[in-house]
A and B are shown apart, each in its own frame.
Chain A
């Protein structure tokens, strides 16, 4: 018997430990589901952690109204198969109710509005732990994020005053009205996620695989044509062979030219690529610390 785990099995074991710890330490957890591969991985790991029982918490999707239709279809089928409850927080509803004001202009995005809707849903559902699929390799502010990340009663993150995390010991203690953000896949890299999804044969939305789509270029980023985006006169659409490395809003998620139509080819592409996956996200490009600023105010 060879007493060692490979890196993916060790990461899996760590994430399952965190998921079970959340079920044990919190009264009312919820899993934030975006439809992207990281939240699909999270859901899959949760299925493993509580097998043969069902996942003991609902999924929460903050719906900007600007989603890829393929992602919504995938979400609904997954929820059906798992037999878990899905809560949808609607940004469109919040705009219609006058709770938030929509950005205007060519680079308008509903990304920032998600925070308000998320915090409202967490409050409404009295959730004390919100599980997210953020990874530390994604962005430099996230490199300092904890597995158990404390949020005050306003949902704010205080990066300079975080609880140290040692060994296998996670402190989820809090006062009433406060909550935790929990990041079970903190230690996974983009490549780890892809390798694991392939080895485990996990289903993914077809958006991740190369396909032909009507797209146009803006500031060097390829965007999918949709009703949610205001094109400038010189921005002309053409059919391109693309795939998406992350799935967010149609209005701000960049596609990349690719012919990777299998997981094997995607991994090869990821392993040799020279741009980070959030490099295609125009929401991160607003300033050098845009992620940190959004996180402090309660973003994922």
Chain B
């Protein structure tokens, strides 16, 4: 692990999601990534070793590292999203580790929402199964920019190239129906360490890189939308003191494009135009702001702007409508109600909405559309139409994951009941 200032000033952050069950070796793989990058500490290791021995298990069970809650350790399953961290001199990694079973679709969606990379594990003995397809479909729906398919347990198929090629072909054929841009394949053995951090000597036929090399080098510079300027106003900063008497700063996190001093901008919903006077921060004035920076924007003119408004470029406006079509992932035990009313959160804006139409339910194992059974239950994904009380300034989710996403909140329980991607 490097600790020179120059080195970690250049380090990037990469978020990836893994999905899978205990059997496909996911925990072993995460354990190996943590272990080989020296991210497991002695006391953590001693603790899980003691627990494994107490349970009468033969080997140290690395799954115990990733199962945090008491009930999970008792049942030996992962029921929630767990976040893991490790770093190499090049990058810091955040793993959103989620259960792979169909009844935990909502956890997979949650983990996928902020990921740069989806890591899909396939057992080399079993090939592409229903669960593999489900993970790939979710990665596609959530528009995770990069997909890496790890064909695991190669040691159990004698490291044969044919086994790997067959799975690669099967997956590629299936993936051609999906909306995924960047897919890579790596044959590995998480248990033996082949092609995880160190290049395998048993698979000379494989010309690609190790998984760690992939994670350290996959290009994530284009994962944000740098074209369409979108600045949702989050909080208005007014110091109320003599030094900053007339200061009105609009703070927020850039959701798209790049903002510069002097840019002509429009404020939505009012439609007033102005120029950027200054991009401010604690560290001084900035020449430019881009995603995902948190900054404060000051305008030349005194316009009434509040939380939920959006600053955009005059010649590049988002959609502005009270009717939106979304793909929704449903989280609640209580089914989605046709004509039901919910609170809707979009960027920094809050409104109410009514469910006007349920178009179809998506079978996330086959991608087929069910037009008959439209009862949307927990862990279902469906296409629906909403009518909102206020216009929302949106982009299609494919173009911008921030301005293209919403959540629905139950007005009785205050719980988050659904997550939607705008079509």
Interface residues of A (CB under 8 A from B): 1, 3-14, 16-17, 20-21, 23-24, 47-54, 136-137, 140-144, 159-160, 162-169, 171, 173-175, 186-187, 189, 191-192, 195, 198-199, 264, 267-268, 271-276, 279, 288-289, 292
Name the interface residues of B240-296: CB closer than 8 Å to any CB of A: 240, 243-244, 247, 249, 251-253, 255, 258, 280-283, 288, 290, 292-294, 296
* Cα A113 to Cα B92 with chains together (Å): 37
* Cα A191 to Cα B346 with chains together (Å): 34
Task: Indicate if B226 sits at the interface (CB-CB under 8 A).
Answer: yes
Task: Indicate if B133 sits at the interface (CB-CB under 8 A).
Answer: no
- In the complex, what's the smallest C-beta–C-beta distance from B378 to chain A, in angstroms? 12
Task: Indicate if B58 sits at the interface (CB-CB under 8 A).
Answer: no
What would 14 more interface pairs be, CB under 8 Å, given A13-B293, A51-B296, A169-B407?
Answer: A3-B290, A7-B92, A21-B234, A21-B235, A51-B280, A159-B69, A160-B80, A164-B106, A164-B331, A167-B114, A169-B405, A171-B416, A191-B87, A267-B3
CB nearest neighbor in A for B401: A167
Task: Indicate if B399 sits at the interface (CB-CB under 8 A).
Answer: no
* Cα A7 to Cα B283 with chains together (Å): 17
* Cα A51 to Cα B292 with chains together (Å): 19
Residue pair B409, A275 in contact (C-beta under 8 Å) = no
* Cα A142 to Cα B84 with chains together (Å): 11
Mark each residue of chain B from 401 to 417: 1 if its CB lies under 8 Å from any CB of chain A, else 0.
Answer: 11001110100001110
A sample of 6 inter-chain contacts (CB < 8 A) reads A14-B294, A20-B294, A54-B239, A167-B114, A187-B83, A279-B43
* Cα A163 to Cα B281 with chains together (Å): 32
Of B92, B114, B221, B401, the most chain A CB neighbours within 10 A belong to B92
Contacts A24-B307, A275-B41: A11 and B345 contacting too (C-beta < 8 A)? no
Contacts of A187 in B (CB 8 A): 83, 85, 94
* Cα A141 to Cα B85 with chains together (Å): 14
Task: Indicate if B238 sits at the interface (CB-CB under 8 A).
Answer: yes
- In the complex, what's the smallest C-beta–C-beta distance from B216 to chain A, in angstroms? 13
CB nearest neighbor in A for B110: A164
Residue pair B292, A10 in contact (C-beta under 8 Å) = yes
* Cα A47 to Cα B237 with chains together (Å): 12
Residue pair A141, B1 in contact (C-beta under 8 Å) = no
Residue pair A13, B80 in contact (C-beta under 8 Å) = no
- In the complex, what's the smallest C-beta–C-beta distance from B67 to chain A, in angstroms? 8
Residue pair B292, A144 in contact (C-beta under 8 Å) = no
Contacts of A192 in B (CB 8 A): 92
* Cα A174 to Cα B406 with chains together (Å): 19
Residue pair B113, A167 in contact (C-beta under 8 Å) = yes
Residue pair A136, B234 in contact (C-beta under 8 Å) = no
CB nearest neighbor in B for A8: B8
Residue pair B1, A143 in contact (C-beta under 8 Å) = no
- In the complex, what's the smallest C-beta–C-beta distance from A198 to chain B, in angstroms? 7
Residue pair B253, A144 in contact (C-beta under 8 Å) = no
Contacts of B253 in A (CB 8 A): 13, 16-17, 168
Contacts of A7 in B (CB 8 A): 8, 11-13, 91-92
Contacts of B220 in A (CB 8 A): 4
Residue pair B282, A173 in contact (C-beta under 8 Å) = no
Contacts of A21 in B (CB 8 A): 234-235
Contacts of A268 in B (CB 8 A): 3
Residue pair B414, A173 in contact (C-beta under 8 Å) = yes
Task: Indicate if B343 sits at the interface (CB-CB under 8 A).
Answer: yes
Mark each residue of chain B from 35 to 51: 1 if its CB lies under 8 Å from any CB of chain A, else 0.
Answer: 00000011110010001
Of A144, A186, A289, the most chain B CB neighbours within 10 A belong to A144
Contacts of B288 in A (CB 8 A): 1
* Cα A137 to Cα B414 with chains together (Å): 29
Contacts of A24 in B (CB 8 A): 234-235, 307, 348
CB nearest neighbor in A for B82: A143
Residue pair A144, B12 in contact (C-beta under 8 Å) = no
Contacts of B235 in A (CB 8 A): 20-21, 23-24
Residue pair B69, A50 in contact (C-beta under 8 Å) = no
Contacts of B69 in A (CB 8 A): 141, 144, 159-160, 292
CB nearest neighbor in B for A162: B80
* Cα A1 to Cα B286 with chains together (Å): 13
Contacts of A1 in B (CB 8 A): 258, 288
Contacts of A6 in B (CB 8 A): 8-13
CB nearest neighbor in A for B260: A1
* Cα A11 to Cα B93 with chains together (Å): 12
Contacts A7-B92, A8-B8, A51-B281: A163 and B415 contacting too (C-beta < 8 A)? yes
Residue pair A274, B9 in contact (C-beta under 8 Å) = no
* Cα A217 to Cα B409 with chains together (Å): 52
Task: Indicate if B132 sits at the interface (CB-CB under 8 A).
Answer: no
Which residue of B12, B13, B84, B406 is within 8 Å of A169 (Cβ)? B406
* Cα A187 to Cα B258 with chains together (Å): 25
Contacts of B9 in A (CB 8 A): 6, 8, 199
Contacts of A195 in B (CB 8 A): 3, 8
- In the complex, what's the smallest C-beta–C-beta distance from B62 to chain A, in angstroms? 13
- In the complex, what's the smallest C-beta–C-beta distance from A186 to chain B, in angstroms? 8
* Cα A4 to Cα B85 with chains together (Å): 20
* Cα A31 to Cα B79 with chains together (Å): 30
Name the interface residues of B292-339: CB closer than 8 Å to any CB of A: 292-294, 296, 307, 331
CB nearest neighbor in A for B410: A173
- In the complex, what's the smallest C-beta–C-beta distance from A201 to chain B, in angstroms? 12
Residue pair A171, B5 in contact (C-beta under 8 Å) = no
Mark each residue of chain B from 65 to 95: 1 if its CB lies under 8 Å from any CB of chain A, else 0.
Answer: 1011111000000011111110100011010
- In the complex, what's the smallest C-beta–C-beta distance from B143 to chain A, in angstroms? 11
Contacts A20-B235, A171-B416, A175-B414: A47 and B282 contacting too (C-beta < 8 A)? yes
CB nearest neighbor in B for A142: B68
* Cα A67 to Cα B84 with chains together (Å): 32
- In the complex, what's the smallest C-beta–C-beta distance from B50 to chain A, in angstroms? 9
Contacts of B43 in A (CB 8 A): 275-276, 279
Contacts A3-B221, A167-B402, A195-B8: A189 and B234 contacting too (C-beta < 8 A)? no
